[in-house]
Amino acid sequence: MQRCLQKCQREARNDDGSKIKDNDHDAKWRLEQLRHINDRIKLRRHGPAVQMDVMDLPPIVGPTNKIYSVDMVPTIAISNRNGENDYYVAKPMKATCYHQIAWRRSFSVKEKERLTTLDGGNGCRKQVLRVLKVIRNREPGLAQLTSYHLKTALFRKIDELPDSAQWRIECLGQRLMDVIGQLRKDLENGFMQHYYLKDVNLLDGMKEPTVINMHNRLKNLMNCQKGMMGLVQP
């Protein structure tokens, strides 16, 4: 990707624009953007993804502002017996002391599809997930819980409570406590089952004291309404 950016910029800077008609403003604009593309786009590793930050054109004086970021993940798609694609992404292997990479199964497409269709009506499922992330981000003792842990607990509770009436927006508080209770239960058992791969424990790799501390923190939050409200309020 870096070589591609450099090539685009080099070719654009060698282009004198003689082929562009005087009234073709879009072509002139595109050429000017390409002349600075390698300066404007910054690439860096972000887990299994390459994060691409797109910046403003460099000003004469002052900082350069970021316009937006995009995560791009190299992926292999392999057809399964059902004629559907299974997706694999390259991730570091946790159990090794070397920086070894393995192609590992990814369910992000299925998860995204499910999240998109979670609340067809006046539901609170997505709101529960948003509040969970706020609590996790504001409580240092829960920092080891990833978004995947939170989604897994939510999906499991949705399966347990399939009636949409139980997920109306006015049930937000009750459902939030239910999902937190699911997280607490998994932490207490030291086993959080992967939603799709039933033999995989999502708590593998975490130190036992860390798991115990997170369990105790969730227990305290569930027993202290004031502490919980302090985390979720703006």
Among residues 72, 94, 118, the one where a domain terminates is: 72
The pLDDT score that the predictor gives to residue 90 is 83
Give the span between the Cα atoms of 188 and 178, in whole angstroms. 15
> What would the mean pLDDT of 122-134 be, rounded to a whole number?
89
In the predicted model, is pLDDT for residue 67 greater than 70?
Answer: yes
On whether both 225 and 111 belong to a single domain, the answer is yes
Task: Give the least confident one: 18-27, 181-190, 221-230.
Answer: 221-230
User: Beta partners for 45?
Assistant: 50
Helix or strand run (H / E) with residue 18:
none
Domain count for the chain? 3
Q: Which domain holds residue 43?
A: 2-72
Looking at the structure, do residues 224 and 182 belong to the same domain, yes or no? yes
Q: Which residues contact 156 (CB under 8 A, 6 or more apart)?
A: 182, 193, 195
* CA distance linking residue 97 with residue 138, whole number of Å: 31
226 has a pLDDT exceeding 90: no
pTM attached to this predicted model? 0.70
Same domain, 21 and 31: yes
Residues 117 and 177 in one domain: yes
**Per-residue pLDDT at 121:** 67
- pLDDT for the residue 30: 84
pLDDT at 58: 61
pLDDT of res. 60: 53
Q: Are residues 58 and 80 in the same domain?
A: no
